[in-house]
């Protein structure tokens, strides 16, 4: 699979969003919730890509 500029931009935005989410966490529970939401967003993007 080739990496296109669109893939690189999406990866950079995902990484930035994850970093902001982790920076906003104050507890271990909050980190778990943020990671779960990030995983759901990635899974949703993957499902859209399959169609």
Four-point Cα dihedral 50, 11, 6, 44, nearest 10? 30
Q: Model-level pTM?
A: 0.44
| pLDDT tens sequence across 1-51 | 567 888 888 999 999 988 887 777 666 677 788 889 988 988 888 777 666
Of the candidates 7, 5, 3, the one whose C-alpha atom is nearest the C-alpha of residue 46 is 7
The pLDDT value recorded for residue 15 is 92
Neighbours of 10 (CB within 10 A): 14
- The rounded distance, in Å, linking the Cα atoms of 3 and 45 is 16
The pLDDT value recorded for residue 28 is 66
């Amino acid at each position: 699979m080739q990496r296109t500029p669109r893939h690189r931009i999406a990866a950079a935005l995902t990484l930035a969003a994850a970093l902001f989410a982790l920076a906003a966490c104050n507890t271990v529970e909050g980190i778990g919730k943020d990671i779960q939401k990030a995983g759901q967003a990635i899974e949703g993007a993957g499902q859209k890509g399959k169609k």
